[in-house]
Every structure is written in structure tokens, then in C-alpha cells.
Amino acid sequence: MTEPGTLERGIASGLAFLRRRLAGDYEVDEFGYDPDFARTVLLPPARALYEHWFRVELSGVDNIPDGGALLVANHSGTIPIDALMLSVAVHDHADRRIRLLGADLVYQIPVLGHLARKGGHTLACKSDAARLLAKGELVGVFPEGFKGVGKPFADRYKLQRFGRGGFVGTALRAGVPIVPCAIVGAEEIYPKIGDIPPLARLLGLPYFPVTPTFPLLGPAGLIPLPSKWMIRFGEPMTLDEYDADSADDPMTVFNITDHVRENVQGMLYETLLRRGPAFL
């Protein structure tokens, strides 16, 4: 039962929010991040999924350093709900805002593009990442990109190629640590068992997924399966032994990229073992 006091406070704060929105009385930063909107509109539904549907368990939250850091996570799930869950985890349990770097496709899609910006996220490009890190923000990347999020169910928990290692150059130039992160559970939400390339081409998407329920059940197939999730933050990998110039040395960048990738893969297997059955 909700006490009348909390209910009234809830209504009052809701009305105050509405009033601020209607009067335009809020601030956004240069990336379009609107903390008021993110906190009140974007996070609550994601939080409901996080707590009750996916029952996310966190570990290693203390590994997130204060100040600028680059969080590197695996990407999976056909639809990038892992990004949403990661932002809830960091917001609610680490008291930080994660600024994710997204594919340009996100910013071409109406509504999605501006919601992503309002949530504090931006385009994956060097200058945006450098600018955010210089401001001491926690920046999150999914170096696998579409290759990771759209991989077939059979390849679950196998990390794909880590892009071209651009994220390592960014961390080196900004002089910030890399925080490896493993997200377990997202692989089972939409098991992608097929792909319809002609439809994907028609819609301008990187893939058109077929899951056991989609498109078979129509819109009902869009409900994610209630898998059990675990998110683990690993120890920060400081890159202090390298200087900013090594960002221009491809061999160093490749080596660090591989090292980060192995680290995330290892964490992924460990966490997967700890989780046990996918849906319990």
C-alpha cells in the first residue's frame, strides 16, 4: 500500500514536471542531454523491465572510477535493449550517467534519434567521445556494433570483432582507463534464428531478424523473452604505461584491443557460468 503522503508527493512532482516541460523550463547540454526528461520519462519504464522482467543482478559496481572512463561492453540481443539496461544500472547503482556512443543509424530514425540524445547518448565518433571524456564523463561503447547485436542465436556469447579499435585510440588520447563490462542475458531476449536480407535492404536496416515469435506472432513477437540478466563491471584497465602518441601506433592499438576483448570474453564466460539457467 502506498501511503497518502508519498502518493501526494508523487502527484505534486508529476505536476511540477509537466509544468516545467510545458514552459520549456529545463536545461540541455550541447549533446542534447536532458536530465530532467531522462530521469522522469525514459528511465522509469526501463527500470520496470530491469527490476521485474530481467531481474538484473549487478556485480563490480565499485570498479567504475570517478571521473572520465571508457566502459567497453559486449553487445547482443537483436534489439539493443542491453544499452537501456546498462544506463539504468549505472544511473541507479553507480550514481553516474553513462553516455553511450551509438551507430549513425540511430540518429537517422525519427523519434529514436532525439530520444537517444535526450537520454545523454551521442554518435560514435572520435570528437564526441573525446569531448565527453574531457568533461570527465563515463562514456560507454559497444565495439562489436551491429555484428554483435545482430548475431545469430547459435553464436551467443561469442564476441565478434572489436571494430577497428577506435575506442582504444580514444581512451589513449584522453588518458582515461578502460572499464570492461560483461552483459549476460541479453542474448536470449530475441533469439535470432533467421534473417531476411531483402526485407532488411528494403527498410535500410542492417538485418531483419526472425525469432521463434517474430514475425510469426506479429507485434506480440516484439515482447522480449524474460531471461535472467547479470551485468558485471571488471577492474579498470589503466593505460598509464602508454602515452597519448601510442594512439597513432596501430600495433599498440591492436594489442590493447585484443587484450580488452579477451578480458571481456573471459568475464562473459565466468558470469554465464554463475548465472546458470537462462530463464530462471
Partner 1 sequence: MSSLPAAAARVVLVTGVSRFLGARVANTLQADPGIERVIGVDTVPPDTSHGVSLGRTEFVRVDIRTPSIANLIASAGVDTVVHLSLVTSSSVPRAKAKELNVIGTMQLLAACQRSPDTRKLVVRSSAAVYGSSPMDPAVFTERDEPVEAPRSGYAKDAGEIEGYVRGLTRRRSDLAVSVLRFANFLGPGVDSLVTRYLRLPVVPTVLGFDPRLQFVHEDDGVEVLRRMTVEDHPGCFNVAGDGVLLLSQALRRAGRPSVPVPSPSLSMLGDMGRRFAGLSGFSPELLRWLKYGRVIDTTALEDELSWRPKYSTEAAFADFTAAQGHGPLTALFGRTPR
Residues near partner 1, by CB under 8 A: 19, 21-32, 34, 104, 107-111, 113-114, 117-118, 122-123, 125, 127-128, 131
- Residue 264 to residue 95: CA distance in whole angstroms: 23
The least CB distance from residue 86 to partner 1, in Å, is 20
Closest approach, Cβ 106 to partner 1, in A, equals 8
Instruction: Give yes or no for a contact between 76 and 156, defined as CB atoms under 8 angstroms apart.
Output: yes
Nearest to partner 1 of 34, 187 (CB atom): 34
Q: Is the dihedral of CA 265, 267, 57, 136 positive or negative?
A: negative
Cβ closest to partner 1, residue 47 vs residue 118 = 118
Closest approach of Cβ 32 to partner 1, in Å?
Answer: 5
**R_g over Cα of the chain:** 19
Decide if 74 contacts 184 (C-beta within 8 A): no
What is the closest distance, in whole angstroms, from the C-beta atom of residue 168 to partner 1 in the complex? 19
**Residue nearer to partner 1 on the CB measure, 21 or 156:** 21
**In the block, residue with C-alpha cell 534519434:** 113
Complex with partner 1: residue 100 or 183, whichever CB lies closer:
100
CB of 206 to partner 1, least distance (A): 15
Query: What is d(CA 236, CA 100) in angstroms, rounded to the nearest whole number?
Result: 18
Q: Over the range 125-146, which residues count as b (16 or more CB within 10 Å of their CB) and which as e? A: eeebbebbbeeebbbbbbbbbb
Question: Between residues 124 and 159, which has the closer beta carbon with respect to partner 1?
Answer: 124
